[in-house]
Structures are given as C-alpha cells and as structure tokens.
C-alpha cells in the first residue's frame, strides 16, 4: 500500500518495480488529492489491471492515508511504504517472508545488520538517529528503528492495534503498543536512500525539524511514562 502526495514522477515506476518483485501483489495507492495529479497518473497506469487500485481522498494526513489503505486491502498481510523509492521494493519479499515465517509485524530497519541510512542530507539523518537512540533507551523492546514507515503486518495485529497520531509518530506508537500487546515484531535491514524524484516531505531545516520532531518526542515520553497507554 502506497500513501502518496505529489509523487507523480515516482508512482508509475514504483508500481512496476513492486510488480517485478511480487507479481501477485495487490497495490493500493491512497492519494491525498495531490496538486500534481499523482492520483490521475497512477490511475491511468493501472487501467485494466484489477490488482491495482487508486483511492483519491479529499483530506490529507499520512496516518489516516495508511489506515485507509489498510481498510481497503483484502489480504491477511498488509505492507506499506513510502512512494519515493527511499525504501527499496527489493526488500518487500524479505519483509513478507518474515511475517510468513511467524512474525506478526515486520519492520524495515536502518539500524540492524544489512541496514543503513544513505541519505546525503546530514540534518534529517542525524535527527532520525537521535530520535531512534532516545526511543531505544526510554522504551526498550526489540525495535531499533521506530520511525521509518516500511512495515508489513498481519491483519490480526492491525485489528487489535489501531494507528494513532498524525505524521511519522504513528509508527513509534504502533510498534511499541504491538510489542507490549504480545505481538512479535521482527526487523529486516534495508538501505534507506534519498528520494528518486520530487520534493521531500521530511523537514530539512532546524526549525522544521523541531516543529515536526516535537510530536515524536511527545509520543516517546508518553509511551515511556504510561506503559499501558
């Protein structure tokens, strides 16, 4: 499942790459009414292929877009990822295999063997490393990469653990609550790269990082203080 906003330059190539890795995949594009017409480009490319669906929403929000895709999906395993090629389609089979082999949730990770962050922008790379280090120290558990939304999960886990939040902090909340509820969470290393085309939504300046990061920090502190939150 692919949540999109202004990804017209990536979406068709990404759908084709996913199909090359997993021909039987059901692909759901949930587009937040992109001004660049991502929904239109994706819909034209998907014409005649019943395994690809494009949902054009009139509202916006990463967490709610992912939830819409989960609700629309037919399979017992749902995978979601960014639509900018920062998360390689080649890692999809390994995430699905981790779930098929017993994990309830499989998380693509930059901080386990086989994973790394290769973005050239040092500021968001450093900020991500610091947030994840703080999360590991305060929250414990099996997860090392709490923030990148490259996730495959069993529907049984998704039905029990709802997504909460606005932007990327939803991932921290979901992974921690799933683990605390007794669901197994495995991590699969992957190489996180800079986007292939288009403009990044990741904050690239100190003020924007602070503004967006405040929700990540608040989520970590809430989960650390309230063990049953």
pLDDT of residue 204: 58
Secondary structure (DSSP) of the chain: -EEESS-TTTHHHHHHHHHHH-TT--EEEEE---TT-HHHHHHHHHTT-TTEEEEE-SS--HHHHHHHHHHH--SSEEEE--SSSSS-GGGHHHHHHHHHTT-SEEEEESSSTT-EE--S-HHHHHHHHHHHHHHHHHH-SS-S--S---EEEEHHHHHHS---SSSTHHHHHHHHHHHHTT--EEEEE-EE---SSS---S--SHHHHHHHHHHHHHHHHHHHH-TT-
State which residues form the domain around 105.
2-225
pLDDT, greater one: 77 or 207: 77
pLDDT, greater one: 205 or 56: 56
Q: What share of the chain in percent tops pLDDT 90?
A: 82
pLDDT over 80 (residue 206): no
The CATH number linked to 17 is 3.90.550.10
* pLDDT confidence tier of residue 209, bands split at 50, 70 and 90: confident
Task: Average the pLDDT over each of 48-62, 91-105, 129-143, 204-218 and give the range with the smallest value.
Answer: 204-218
- What mean pLDDT value characterizes the chain? 93
- Give the CA diameter of the chain: 51
- Report the alpha-carbon distance of residue 60 to residue 204 in Å, rounded: 21
- Report the alpha-carbon distance of residue 181 to residue 104 in Å, rounded: 11
pLDDT over 60 (residue 201): no
Number of domains in the chain: 1
pLDDT, greater one: 213 or 99: 99
Mean pLDDT, range 130-153, rounded to an integer:
95
Mean pLDDT, range 206-227, rounded to an integer:
88
Phi-psi region of 37 (alpha: psi -120 to 50; beta: other; left: phi over 0): left
- The total of other beta-carbon atoms located within 10 Å of residue 214's CB is 11
Mean pLDDT, range 159-179, rounded to an integer:
95
Q: Comparing C-alpha atoms, which of 152, 185, 147, 187 is closest to residue 167?
A: 147
pLDDT over 60 (residue 203): no
Answer whether 0.85 is exceeded by the pTM: yes
Task: Average the pLDDT over each of 10-24, 54-68, 111-125, 180-194 and give the range with the smallest value.
Answer: 111-125
pLDDT of residue 128: 92
Q: What share of the chain in percent tops pLDDT 70?
A: 94
The two three-digit tokens of residue 205, written as one number: 């300046």
- Report the alpha-carbon distance of residue 91 to residue 198 in Å, rounded: 22
pLDDT of residue 226: 86
Mean pLDDT, range 77-96, rounded to an integer:
96
pLDDT over 80 (residue 127): yes
What Cα–Cα distance (Å) separates residue 228 from each residue in 34, 96, 131, 147?
37, 29, 21, 20
pLDDT in tens, 186-195: 999 999 997 7
pLDDT of residue 207: 79
């Amino acid at each position: 499942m692919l949540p999109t906003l202004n990804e017209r330059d990536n979406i068709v190539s990404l759908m084709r790459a996913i199909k090359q890795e997993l021909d039987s995949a059901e692909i759901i594009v949930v587009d937040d009414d992109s001004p660049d017409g991502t929904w239109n480009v994706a819909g034209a490319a998907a014409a005649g292929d019943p395994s690809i669906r494009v949902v054009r929403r009139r509202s916006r929000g990463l967490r709610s877009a992912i939830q819409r895709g989960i609700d629309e999906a037919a399979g017992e395993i749902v995978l979601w990822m960014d639509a900018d090629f920062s998360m390689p389609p080649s890692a999809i089979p390994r995430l699905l295999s981790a779930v098929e082999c017993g994990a309830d949730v499989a998380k693509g990770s930059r901080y386990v063997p086989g994973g790394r962050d290769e973005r050239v922008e040092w500021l968001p790379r450093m900020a991500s490393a610091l947030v994840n280090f703080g999360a590991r120290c305060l929250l414990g558990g099996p997860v090392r990469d709490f923030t990148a939304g490259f996730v495959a999960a069993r529907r049984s886990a998704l039905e029990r653990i709802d997504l909460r939040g606005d932007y990327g902090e939803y991932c921290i909340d979901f992974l921690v609550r799933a683990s605390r509820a007794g669901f197994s969470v495995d991590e699969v290393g992957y190489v996180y790269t800079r986007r292939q085309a288009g403009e990044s939504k990741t904050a690239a300046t100190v003020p924007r990082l602070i503004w967006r990061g405040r929700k990540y920090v608040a989520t970590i502190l809430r989960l650390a203080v309230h063990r049953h939150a």
